[in-house]
């Protein structure tokens, strides 16, 4: 769509002027300007989902999700105050205790967006009581494993499988705390589904829930994507093939 210069607008983001075009969200405009707002369920290749709430920003005294809130002329967006970072930390702490995120034993450590965003917000401890849910690891597929312990229900694999791969391998079942990822196959196992290593869904997980087999620890811990630079500078792990 051709957009005339006169239809552009701008808003203030942590004191910086950010241009936007009609239809862009706050997240769209900020990322396009080379700035950063933490996010987990958002991926610029997919329609906004608005479920993780880690992208919370302050606008006019309210807290809104930057990935779904439309950019508007003259708005003042706060993404760095202690209040906003504190809200994000609380959301992240809940995500950490709802699953079993054993970072030192995870192949994705150092290239995991959940871990990297936690560092970005200054989260040092989970604060809440761990749920320690009993969840499985599904190693039935020849090329990929899925570790349900690490799933944060961002639904990126659900959207990728449905919208890019045309397969609907993944879905979400249950409500609230009982929500969980399910696989569409006769047995419910990944190996009995139509999932393939070449699927878009195989390469969008922001955490260590969907991982390739046969290539563990190729990059030493300490030299991985977010070990080298903070997520605010390098962005999404899915955009870095060799992360």
Binding site for ligand SF4 (CB under 6 A): 151-157, 181, 204-205, 207, 209-210
* 51 in contact with ligand FES (CB under 6 A): yes
* 44 in contact with ligand FES (CB under 6 A): no
Shortest separation between residue 181's beta carbon and ligand SF4, angstroms: 5
Q: Which of ligand FES, ligand SF4, none does residue 153 bind to, with CB < 5 to 8 Å depending on kind?
A: ligand SF4
Shortest separation between residue 152's beta carbon and ligand FES, angstroms: 10
Task: Pick between residue 56 and residue 238 the one whose CB is nearest to ligand SF4.
Answer: 238
Task: Pick between residue 53 and residue 101 the one whose CB is nearest to ligand FES.
Answer: 53
* 54 in contact with ligand FES (CB under 6 A): yes
Residues 30, 24, 6, CA angle at the centre, nearest 5°? Answer: 100
Task: Pick between residue 84 and residue 156 the one whose CB is nearest to ligand SF4.
Answer: 156
Task: Pick between residue 29 and residue 145 the one whose CB is nearest to ligand SF4.
Answer: 145
Shortest separation between residue 108's beta carbon and ligand FES, angstroms: 18
Q: Which of ligand FES, ligand SF4, none does residue 181 bind to, with CB < 5 to 8 Å depending on kind?
A: ligand SF4
Shortest separation between residue 198's beta carbon and ligand SF4, angstroms: 17
Per-residue binding letters, 66-105, with ligand FES (x by CB under 6 A): -x--------------------------------------
As a three-state string, the secondary structure of 8-56 is: CEEEEECCEEEEECCCCEHHHHHHHCCCCCCCCCCCCCCCCCCCCCCCE
Task: Pick between residue 78 and residue 155 the one whose CB is nearest to ligand SF4.
Answer: 155
Residues of the shown chain interacting with ligand FES in the complex, contacts defined by CB under 6 A: 39-42, 50-55, 65, 67
């Amino acid at each position: 769509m051709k957009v005339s210069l006169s239809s552009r607008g701008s808003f203030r983001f942590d004191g910086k002027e950010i241009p936007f075009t009609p239809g862009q969200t706050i997240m769209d405009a900020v990322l396009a300007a080379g700035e950063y707002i933490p996010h987990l369920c958002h991926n610029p290749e997919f329609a906004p989902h608005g479920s993780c709430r880690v992208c919370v920003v302050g606008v006019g005294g309210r807290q809104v999700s930057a990935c779904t809130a439309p950019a508007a002329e003259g708005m003042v967006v706060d993404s760095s105050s202690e209040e906003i970072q504190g809200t994000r930390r609380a959301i992240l702490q809940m995500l950490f205790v709802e699953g079993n995120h054993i970072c030192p034993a995870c192949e994705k450590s150092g290239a995991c967006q959940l871990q990297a965003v936690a560092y970005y917000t200054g989260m040092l401890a989970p604060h809440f009581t761990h749920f320690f849910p009993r969840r499985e690891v599904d190693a039935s597929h020849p090329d990929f494993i899925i570790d349900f312990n690490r799933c944060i229900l961002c639904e990126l694999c659900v959207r990728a499988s449905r919208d890019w791969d045309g397969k609907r391998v993944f879905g979400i079942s249950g409500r609230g705390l009982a929500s969980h990822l399910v696989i569409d196959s006769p047995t419910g196992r990944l190996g009995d589904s139509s999932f393939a290593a070449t699927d878009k869904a195989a390469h969008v997980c922001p955490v260590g829930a969907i991982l390739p087999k046969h290539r563990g620890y190729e990059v030493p811990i300490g030299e991985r994507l977010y070990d080298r630079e903070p997520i605010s500078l390098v962005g999404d792990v899915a955009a870095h093939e060799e992360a």
